Structure 1
Amino acid sequence: MKRKFAPLFAAGVLVVSQLLLAACSNDSKKVDGKTENASYDPNSHLEVSWTAMLHTPSPPTDTVLKKIEEKTNATITFNWVPDASKEERITSALAAGELSDIVSLTMLTNSSVRNSLKSGMFWDVGEYLDDYDNLKLISDDVRTAASIDGKLYGVPFQKDLARSGLVIRKDWLDNLGLEVPTTLDELFEVARAFTEDDPDGNGKKDTVGFGDRNDLRYSSFKTISSYFGSPNGWKVEEDGSFTPEFVTKEYKDAMDFSRKMYEKGYLAKDFAVTAKTDQQQQFAQGKTGIYTGIVDIKNLKVLAEGIQDDMELEPVNKIKGPDGEYHIWSENSGVGGLLAFPKSEVKTEAELKRILKFVNDLINKDVYMLMTGGIEGTHYELESNGSIKILDNALWQKEVQPFSSSRPSEVTHSLVDADPKKQLANELIKENNEFAVLDPTVPLDSPTANERGTELQKITTDATIKYIMGEIDKKQFDAEVEKWRKAGGDQMAKEYAEAYKKSQN
């Protein structure tokens, strides 16, 4: 197998090489320098390439990578894809068949991804998982949620059921004499005060309540709509029919809430063109005071070092909706995507088994710790109570953090974080399980969704953003929904209903 080259980075700016997803040659994979035959020792040295998502401004150094390679008896070539451009790059790679041995597919609702999975491009690994001590622990619920038509085309990324929530500037709340919000009205007031009442005390009107980004699913809107009680994607009616979230009263109430914040300037005016990393930087620089993504609380604190060292953050997971209840949307029912293995690169069953052994080893406690905390004594130390204390946040961010999003499981090992706010965030994420709202279509299949789902979703996503920004009114929004229906939305709902009925029998 030819070695692939990782993307280049210069001056802190990501420059993605055109070789990012360069195809492997048709040579058989080599183990310990020898061409593989029908079978080989699963503990033999492995050369493996991996297309993985990058959620940080730059890729990691090889300090921790070398340790991971030692523990897994592998030589790993990471092909990092910036999260902001993953849709374009992954779909292009799938269309061209230019893939790595392992491909992190985190967009399971993307029609191109689903079509590629269903086409037979990737190995069905369902029958193999129980042969490995860590992989066999993947629950039946997670396997079902990650399957398409009963086939599991990769190892599921195991994540908590619902990781959404808010991170709020606690020091700004204290400066303004405000309490942590518990209702939507209180949240709106905090957004107002953070925009209008000089929360940082510098005498300038240079702050905004909600920072945000150009991804409706992971922006403030999806979380706010779930607070209002909106379905997560779809709602199953009593008669078994499926109703899309964006025609419900709760979704439209959330649109009105966000539109009002946008009109008054409490929601960042540039959210529609802001990438996740820019959203994080704006928060770290003290330009915004509310961030959507409770899981990122430690990263935000790290980014603020040397800029706002006195920043105090508060994770929030409970905002009561109009019905007085708590709701939070679940991302793919605890499945963060798939570690998928293309048959064009992983050519034999024996080769597949060796790579599955590699993935299994990544879940071992020692490797998990490398991908989470780094090297003990260099990046972290264990406190007497078993908590992890990061020794140098800047070093950890540079050498460790990029690996964390590639951990196959975030639920197998329970760790205590020495940062009390990060530990609180972890506990609140666990608590979200009690009121998580699942997407009923996750385990279901729709031919129309597979063929045109992403295209159809863009109609209603664009319409929602335009409504929030005041570019269209409700009548025009409804016209876009009607366009969605005629273009295949109603057919998709029908197919989901049929698949759901079949699954209940």
Structure 2
Amino acid sequence: MKKKSKFPKVIAVSLLVSSQLLLAACSEKSNNSSNESSSGTYDPNSHLEVSWTAMLHTPSPPTDVVLDKIEEATNTTIKFNWVPDASKEERITAALASGELSDIVSLTMLRNSSVRQSLKSGMFWDVSKYLDEYENLKQIPEEVRTAASIDGSLYGVPFQKNLGRSGLILRKDWLDNLGLEPPTNLEELYEVARAFTEDDPDGNGKDDTTGFIDRSELRYGSFKTLSSYHGAPNGWAVDENGKFTPEFETEAYLETMKYSRKLYENGYLAKDFAVTAKSDQQEKFAQGKAGIYTGMVDIKNLKVMAEGVQDQMELIPINKIAGPDGEHRIWSENSGVGGLLAFPKSEVKDEAELKRILQFIDNLIDKEVYMLMTGGIEGTHYELGENGEFNILDDAQWQKDVQPLSSSRPSEVTHELVDADPKKQLANELIRENDKFAVLDPTVPLDSQTANERGTELEKIIIDATFKFIMGEIDEAGFQKEVDKWKKSGGDDMAKEYEEAYKAAK
């Protein structure tokens, strides 16, 4: 094992290097693609000093309170380099370009062109042959490994998540105030959005509420979920002949745009959605400015944020909105893969060190450490009821000490907790139920050189066009013009490459 100098536990990432250096950096790492030691012998109980570039989904990094316990349980000293989720694309791209990386890098944007190129370049270790040596890692299902692989190589430990985590959260107290039942189909959902906007659901006599509160993302805002309800494919559709069609060339996608445009034109979708960040979206919902939110996983956080502001708030999660054909569907994010815990060869020099770090990742999935990263310290941050119900004791303290760590858990599916909050527990159960009708993206395990090189810029063409259509800035002809631009700019090449990869994998 290499010796590393002692370092502080938590620092912020500051990466300002131009992404133009990416290809040169990738080439340099590729030249070091064979760094294995002859034996790979390591001591699984040795003390490990490890640096980790991880995503930060909260305003501030965690305190050392729980981190100390994690280090004690795993016999490690951890230096977290936190990357705010809002700037992850810029920061991670710059880090990959500069080669300034940590021992562990959380790569959550597997469809990002720069990330994809870096993975294929040989910059990171292929861990395929090592996982079965570890008690927890060997439990990762084969389909998850396949979905996280590129050309049969697995360049990191997959973050394991449920197949379909999306769904809706509605203000149940507003439904009750207006005498409405929870919606079960698209027509009823539209009516709820109208009533939440026009019928004074909070009873304050003011015109100050709307239906959908949304944010500047197609994928994680309302649109992707609504497109699932309409029956659109998840990313791409593939027919029996192996022909690939992008989702935005389907009738269901067009119908989703029309549905969203009608919401927007009537004020049932927040007018500023295209410039609203996730944190602002959540804050506005917690302040009582809207009654429909996309993302069942956030139900507890929204309730906590509303304390002292909207104490009367009662929420209900909904995972089933029937489409025009009466069927239930929900899109699956990367087939249950939330990204990779990747190990750069520039930092992890040999097989022995890699194996010790994999042991650390394996330890993070142990129930003891999982509970530390999920709940914190029992008796201080959480308690378990007589029937094992999980209950956070002090939300404010939990948010400071624990919540920032929870997004770095290698697995969200290995252990199941019964949440003491019945609405959060219901949301958890509905997310698991989504597995039954989750719609997978057929391109997740496939490779396309065009997608690797230009996928992000091509995607932006469609994102911008979809937003413009929803906001009435272009019509169907204008949208088709942008689709044609996408095709000529590499979209057609991408489709052909996916078709070839699909046939080769058969």
Same-fold status (TM-score > 0.5): yes
Partner of 1:12: none
Secondary structure class of the residue paired with 2:55: strand
Shift in CA distance, 397/325, structure 1 to aligned 2, threshold 3 Å: same
Partner of 1:147: 149
Match of 1:464 among 449, 461, 466: 466
C-alpha distance after superposition, 1:187-218 (max 9, x if no partner): 11111111111111111111111111111110
Alpha-carbon distance between aligned partners in 2 of 1:38 and 1:370, rounded to the nearest angstrom: 30
Secondary structure class of the residue paired with 1:388: strand
Shift in CA distance, 191/110, structure 1 to aligned 2, threshold 3 Å: same
Aligned AA for 2:214? Answer: D
Partner of 1:33: none
Alpha-carbon distance between aligned partners in 1 of 2:311 and 2:360, rounded to the nearest angstrom: 40
C-alpha distance after superposition, 1:17-59 (max 9, x if no partner): 45999xxxxxxxxxxxxxxx97542211111111111112222
Matched, 1:124 2:144: no
Partner of 1:63: 65
Alignment of 1:283-432 (within 5 A): 283-432=285-434
Q: Is the 8 A contact 2:62 2:405 kept in 1?
A: yes
Q: Is the 8 A contact 1:20 1:79 kept in 2?
A: no
Unaligned runs of 5+ in 1: 9-15, 22-36
Equivalenced residues, count: 482
Secondary structure class of the residue paired with 2:302: helix
Q: Is the 8 A contact 2:9 2:78 kept in 1?
A: no
Partner of 1:203: 205
Secondary structure class of the residue paired with 1:231: coil
Q: Is the 8 A contact 1:448 1:492 kept in 2?
A: yes
Q: Report how far residue 416 of structure 1 moved.
A: 0.6
Partner of 1:29: none
C-alpha distance after superposition, 1:276-327 (max 9, x if no partner): 1111111111111111100111111111122122211000000000011001
Partner of 2:229: 227
Alignment of 1:140-219 (within 5 A): 140-219=142-221
TM-score (ref. length: structure 1): 0.93
Q: Is the 8 A contact 1:123 1:340 kept in 2?
A: yes
Q: Report how far residue 425 of structure 1 moved.
A: 0.4
Moved more, 50-59 or 374-383: 50-59
Partner of 1:439: 441
Aligned AA for 1:275? Answer: A
Partner of 2:28: none
Secondary structure class of the residue paired with 1:289: strand
Moved more, 72-81 or 437-446: 72-81
Moved more, 197-206 or 179-188: 197-206
Matched, 1:249 2:246: no
Partner of 2:138: 136
Match of 2:456 among 445, 454, 461: 454
Secondary structure class of the residue paired with 1:205: coil
Q: Is the 8 A contact 1:212 1:274 kept in 2?
A: yes
Alpha-carbon distance between aligned partners in 2 of 1:293 and 1:269, rounded to the nearest angstrom: 19
Aligned AA for 2:308? Answer: G
Alpha-carbon distance between aligned partners in 1 of 2:391 and 2:9, rounded to the nearest angstrom: 34
Q: Is the 8 A contact 2:183 2:189 kept in 1?
A: yes
Match of 2:115 among 113, 116, 123: 113
Secondary structure class of the residue paired with 1:366: helix
Q: Report how far residue 237 of structure 1 moved.
A: 1.4
Partner of 1:493: 495
C-alpha distance after superposition, 1:210-259 (max 9, x if no partner): 11111111000000000000000000012110000001000000000001
C-alpha distance after superposition, 1:82-133 (max 9, x if no partner): 1111111111111111111111101111111010000000000010000100
Aligned AA for 2:463? Answer: T
Shift in CA distance, 236/491, structure 1 to aligned 2, threshold 3 Å: same
Alpha-carbon distance between aligned partners in 2 of 1:167 and 1:437, rounded to the nearest angstrom: 20
Aligned AA for 2:501? Answer: A
TM-score (ref. length: structure 2): 0.93
Q: Is the 8 A contact 2:107 2:341 kept in 1?
A: yes
Q: Is the 8 A contact 2:334 2:441 kept in 1?
A: yes
Shift in CA distance, 172/91, structure 1 to aligned 2, threshold 3 Å: same
Q: Which runs of 4+ in 1 moved over 3 A?
A: 1-8, 16-21, 37-40
Partner of 1:13: none
Q: Is the 8 A contact 1:159 1:411 kept in 2?
A: yes
Aligned AA for 2:288? Answer: G
Secondary structure class of the residue paired with 1:122: coil
Aligned AA for 1:134? Answer: N
Q: Is the 8 A contact 2:165 2:332 kept in 1?
A: yes
Alpha-carbon distance between aligned partners in 2 of 1:40 and 1:255, rounded to the nearest angstrom: 55
Shift in CA distance, 289/421, structure 1 to aligned 2, threshold 3 Å: same
Alpha-carbon distance between aligned partners in 2 of 1:6 and 1:75, rounded to the nearest angstrom: 11
